Structure 1
């Protein structure tokens, strides 16, 4: 790692994780330490909206977007953020418009920073308007900073597979929990504080519902919080989403709020973790961070976030990636809160089914904020879409089979099995399943209908 010019704090953090694995750490939690959140741990977003929003507070805000991921699950080798997601706009263009709208409303040149990986930086900065997105912000801030990279481990020997010569597949991002160390070691954190910024709103770049909210910002500052995490009601589609809990660990005298990710749950407790009666909300990775509190923690030894051991196979070799989650930082600060927010603040794209929902008429871009939001004409919750992975998992295949997007404005759910060619407009109402058992694509136009409602369709 030294030969590849990685900073000493990064090396020390990687060694900490490796030592944990060598000592037998699996990244799994002790279920007996999982307690329920207390009443005063959280506050409803509606209550926050009733609080005063102070105009001067936006001068202290910086927005940070995670942008290190490639669209590998969708068959891409390019950043997911350059995929067209709504009308002619890709993720980056929508984020740019959201920031411009926010700046106009606030009357302040609020900066936005992208945390890129070594895989995404070049394409991101080449996208229109991104490289100079902070040209009017004080402090000559860059548009991005780089996430660190660490070696993958051989699963059997627990030794790094990386050698002296750089090979891309030998290295990996260390999880989005690396954001705090990256901010610190790049000097960005100190620069932000020097320019008077005090709060960072951090979210995933593919969540186009995540907008910095002035009321939440003022509440965060007025309450003198160090860290806040947004959660939203869990549905059957969110059973794998991370949850927040109150620690019952006897060694944690503060009884802090902690984050629990699926990968940390012992196998026998997966049903408990997915119990929506107990865990009603899940973490959506919209975070509010006090930058002074973060700097103090980094200077006093760092965060030591909970380890996530992620087994992978790379070029036929079994490896481990040692990762952390950025939301886990909530357990390392004194003054923390959970914001219970509406689903409108969570509109991610993880796969082609999500992309269909966002591109469809079930979602629109708000004229005032450019937020991707559910169509006001829609009277139902978010449509649940399941597409056959054998035919729709990769973006190219998805777009080839869906030159005409179905209308989902009145859809509860849509399931598609086999290669179905959506070659003509069709509206989905209620619950619809479409099946083509042949290997050859069959066209939806062969039905001669423009509405499918509460039915199983066999082509």
Structure 2
């Protein structure tokens, strides 16, 4: 770590995590400590009014996007944010358009900062218009800052995987690192010195996560230090992290905490997924008071709860010790959980998600928010694509030459290799099946619409 010129605070945080595992920490919670949120912990966005925020208030806002992930699960070795979402527009371009619209509408210079990893920085900054994105902001802020690195550990000995000379010896330490990275790079100080009071943080692949002036106004009027957005769970969200109040051995109530799937004991997974117990899940849209964050970090590490992530590197079992940024809610006193509509959560984790976003089920609004089509009367369509033929983006692109219309679809499944060479409309529940391993054209079916049916190629 010294060879990589890592700062003392970063090294101390990594050593803390290793020590926890060495002392027997598994990253799993004691289920007896999982209590319920109190009524006063939550507020519904729909009750906050729609008067927005003043220009002076908006001038104090900075936007931070997590952009450290490669599209590896989709078969890519480039940042996921360069994948096209709508015709001619990828994630980076849409995020840029979103902040430019905010700037123009309110005559302000809101900074958009990307937290890149060592895997994504070069490609991101090389993208047209990104490097100079914040050059007119007060303080001439950079377009990005770099996430720290952590050594991968051998699973059996907890020693580093290698001597640190190769990229494979290192891993990202989880997006909980965003706060320490802001602090140790000096960017947190620069933001505060230039008049920024609040940061809105979200995942770069969630194009529904835009800076809502109503939330900002409420956040400041209530004197909050940290707020986390949640939205109602559906069947597709059972693995989403949840917020709870820590419960002590005598029933005493502790702070609000984040619980991720990886932290749940196996025997309590069904409890975790019970929508009657946990009706909402964390969507990783966070609001943070920058001065409160700096004051807390000056006192030492946030000591976020540990997530132990087992992996394999070239067949060698390793551990990646991570934290989640949403867990920071438990390190502040004045916090709130904000219940928001589903429209603020539109991520892309795989090619099925990408198909939904590319289709007419989602539209780009005038402010470049990606939202569900207002003509759609259903929840988000459930799309299932055969992993053998659609998991990797190059295979997906080869077969979806035309995105089907999904605005009237409740579910859409494709089994086997089908090339969508013409526009088709999907309504209700539809399954298209090709039992062979040879590609078939959807045009062979001589139809342009399918409704509530399963169709097999002859």
Match of 1:455 in 2: 453
Q: Check the 8 A contact 2:42/2:336 in 1, yes or no.
A: yes
CA contact (8 A) 1:179 1:326 kept: yes
Deviates more, 1:48-57 or 1:135-144: 48-57
Query: Which residue does 2:127 correspond to in 1?
Result: 127
Contact 1:51–1:219 at 8 Å: present in 2 too? no
Instruction: Give the aligned partner of residue 403 of structure 2.
Output: 405
Contact 1:64/1:115 (8 A) holds in 2: yes
Following TM superposition, by how much is the alpha carbon of 1:235 offset from its aligned partner in structure 2, in angstroms?
0.3
Q: Report the alpha carbon displacement of residue 36 of structure 1 after superposing the two structures with TM.
A: 1.2
1:72-87 to structure 2, matched below 5 A, reads 72-87=72-87
Shift of residue 55, structure 1, vs aligned partner: 2.6
Distance 1:217 1:95 in 2: 19
Gaps of 5+ in 1: none
* 8 A contact 1:363–1:374 mirrored in 2: yes
Match of 1:168 in 2: 167
Give, in angstroms, the shift of residue 37 of structure 1: 1.0
Matching residue of 1:102: 102
State the partner residue of 1:241: 240
Partners in 1 of 2:46 and 2:146 — Cα distance? 35
Separation in 1 of the partners of 2:68 and 2:2?
22
The answer (yes or no) to whether the contact 2:245–2:253 under 8 Å persists in 1 is: no
Equivalence for 1:34: 34
Matched, 1:148 2:148: yes
Are 1:442 and 2:453 an aligned pair?
no
The CA distance in 2 between the partners of 1:162 and 1:338, in whole Å, is 42
Aligned to 1:415: 413
Is 1:115 matched with 2:90?
A: no
Could you tell me how far 1:53 is from its partner in structure 2?
2.5
* Alignment-derived partner of residue 225 in structure 2: 226
CA contact (8 A) 2:405 2:426 kept: yes
Give the drift of 1:49: 3.0
Give the SS at the match of 1:49: coil
CA contact (8 A) 2:247 2:253 kept: no
Q: Do the aligned partners of 1:49 and 1:216 also contact (CA within 8 Å) in 2?
A: no
Unaligned runs of at least 5 residues, structure 2: none
Deviations 1:47-88 (A, max 9, x none): 123466233111110000000000000000000000011111
Secondary structure in 2 aligned to 1:312? strand
Shift of 1:251: 9.3
**Contact in 2 for aligned 1:229/1:327 (Cα 8 Å):** yes
How far apart, in 1, do the equivalents of 2:98 and 2:233 lie? 26
- The CA deviation string for residues 282-309 of structure 1, in whole angstroms up to 9 with x for no partner, is 0000000011111011100120000000
Residue 360 of structure 1 aligns with which residue?
359
Structure-2-length-normalised TM-score: 0.98
Superposed CA offset, 1:67-121 (max 9, x none): 0000000000000000011111000000000000111222210111000000100
Q: Contact between 1:407 and 1:426, CA under 8 Å: does it hold in 2?
A: yes
Residues 258-273 of structure 1: matches in 2 within 5 Å? 258-273=257-272
Query: What's the CA shift string for 1:199-220, capped at 9, x where partnerless?
Result: 0000000000000011111110
Task: Provide the C-alpha distance between the structure 2 equivalents of 1:252 and 1:35, rounded to a whole number of angstroms.
Answer: 9
Could you say which residue in structure 2 is the equivalent of 1:197?
A: 196
Partners of 2:361 and 2:23 in 1: how far apart? 50
Contact 2:55 2:108 in 1 (8 A): no
Structure 2 SS opposite 1:353: helix
Q: Distance in 2 between matches of 1:252 and 1:193?
A: 39
**Superposition RMSD on alpha carbons, in Å?**
1.2
Provide the C-alpha distance between the structure 2 equivalents of 1:423 and 1:102, rounded to a whole number of angstroms: 38
